Structure formats: C-alpha cells, structure tokens
Amino acid sequence: MPELPEVETIKKVLKPHLVGRAIIDVIINNRNVVAHPDANDFAMRLRGQTFYDFTRRGKFLTLTLTNGDSIVLHLRMTGCLTIEPIRIPCEKHTHVVFLLDDGNELRYDDIRRFGKFWLIEKGEPDTLSGIDKLGPEPFDLTPDYLKAKLCKSKKPLKGLLMDQSIIAGIGNIYSDEICFSAKILPQKAGNELTESELLLLCRKIPDCLKYFIEKNEISFDEYMLMGGRHYRNTPYLQVYGKAKNPCPMCGEILIGNIIGGRSSVYCKRCQK
DNA sequence: ATAAGGACCTGCTAGC
DNA sequence: TGCTAGCAGGTCCTTA
C-alpha cells in the first residue's frame, strides 16, 4: 500500500522506539518474506545485534545495526510494521517478529506477502534488493535531470513518474495527484512535455509529496491504534479513487482510465 | 527497446 | 444471503 509519504511516516513514527534497542530473538513464521540470506541465517545473524539507525530511501526502509550490517525492507502492497508488547497476540499474517530488549516486539505483517526483507553485510554492496537502482529522491530533482529523463521518452508521464529508476518513491496514487496538481494529463508522452511543464513538474513533484508527508503526520499511539496500516492521506487526495466524482477544481466529472496498465484518474478539463 | 500480460498473494466489494 | 468476478496503493519476469 504505502508510497513514499506513508513509508516516511512509518520511519518517523517507529525510529525513536527502535534505535538503541537490541534484538533478543528473531522469529520467522513465513520463510518466503526473507529474500536474502536464507531465513535461518537471517535470524541467526540478527540475534544479539542492536539497531543503530532507521532510514528511508524511495519506498525502501533500512534498519542499520551497530555492527554495520543492515536490514533492508520493502513493504510492497500490504506490508506493515508495528511495535507491540509481547503479551499482545500476533495477527494472522505476522510473518517476522523481532523480540526486543525492552519487552516489545517489532512485527512485520503482510496480508499478500509481497513484501521482502534482505540482510546486507557491512561493506557488501546491496545489489539484491533493487535499492541500488533507484533514481534520486523527489526532493533532489533538477530541471536538467528531469528533462534528460522525461523528454526523450514516448511513455506516458504517469509511467515515467512511477519508474523507480527515474524518481524514487512515487506510486499509483501520487503519480495521479502530481499530474493533477501540475495540470498535465497522465497519458501525455514524456517527449510531448513543454519546457514550462517540465519546470512545473520539478516543483510540483516535491511539493505534492511534502504536502502528503505533512498530512500523514501521526503520533505513535495513533499509528498503533490504526494497526500501522491506515494512513491519513485519503481525505486530502484530489483525484485518486474519485473517478466519476466531480473535479475539486472545476466540477467536471473525473475520468477513470487504465494508463500503462494502472488505474488512473484525471480531469479532462483541468489537465492538458 | 518497449509494451502488454502474467505472476506473486489475500481480502474486500459490487453485482447478480 | 451467497456466490463470483474484479480489483487493490508494487515489482519482477516472460512473451510478442
């Protein structure tokens, strides 16, 4: 489910509760969610280690350890992290549990089991998770970079925005929201974007994501009450999930369409 | 080289 | 009420 703003929220909320905590034990209920190394090695190498930092890159989360190793995690569609006291029973789809030295457990829950963990050794380049193939963070874009990446492609803008090797962190929701806020049709080909549209995108991409990061802000207690999986973005979305409803800007009925294989919503009057 | 489609999974909803 | 098809915010792989 989560895209960059939600992953950022998860990191912000959980970081203070994890940094400095030691891992007493790792219980893996479903071996398939550990992509590398083998689930036994994964658990064995983590026992006794201590969390040093918690960072986000694109939609990836990384928990670094004081020994220099790092746990890389991608939540994909339905992955979520919670911190619960041991006495609270696990949910049906809890696949990995890190027992911590403060009596809590860091739990990884994932209904569809698309999410994955990787354990990367200190000094070893991470070529497994795909984190090395990410483009820049949306906050580090320059007009020249965007132009070079977008304006030669015949692909629809929506697909280009969602291409993690061009920009890290944008998914199906925010690609539509960005296109709407920049007043550009999501199906418009990259090579048809004008100079001023590229400049506008360079501003709207980070602005839009920052706006939703702010709107997603939540306390630890609220986060846990929502099971770590319900976000605050929905009341603020302008077009995503609102096909056949009136456009919030002009009242025109919003169009729902499949673009590049993904559902998309846009306003045919506001967006050109 | 790029696009389309399937695969990976479970759960929810709309429609019959 | 109960069944079923279709869909879900991600990514990777194969095929054409």
A56, A59, A116, A158: the active-site residue: A59
The CA–C1' separation of A77 and B11, in angstroms, is: 13
A2, A5, A138, A156: the active-site residue: A2
Distance CA A96, CA A202 (A): 39
The token pair at A44 is 């064995």
Distance CA A239, CA A256 (A): 9
**Averaged pLDDT in 10-residue chunks for chain A of 272 residues:** 93 98 98 96 98 98 98 97 96 97 98 97 94 97 96 95 97 97 97 96 97 94 88 90 95 94 95 96
Structure pTM?
0.97
pLDDT tens readout for residues A146-205: 999 999 999 999 999 999 999 999 999 999 999 999 999 999 999 999 999 999 999 999
Closest CA to A219 of A6, A13, A1: A13
Question: Which nucleotide lies at the shortest CA–C1' distance from A4?
Answer: C9
The token pair at A237 is 């979305």
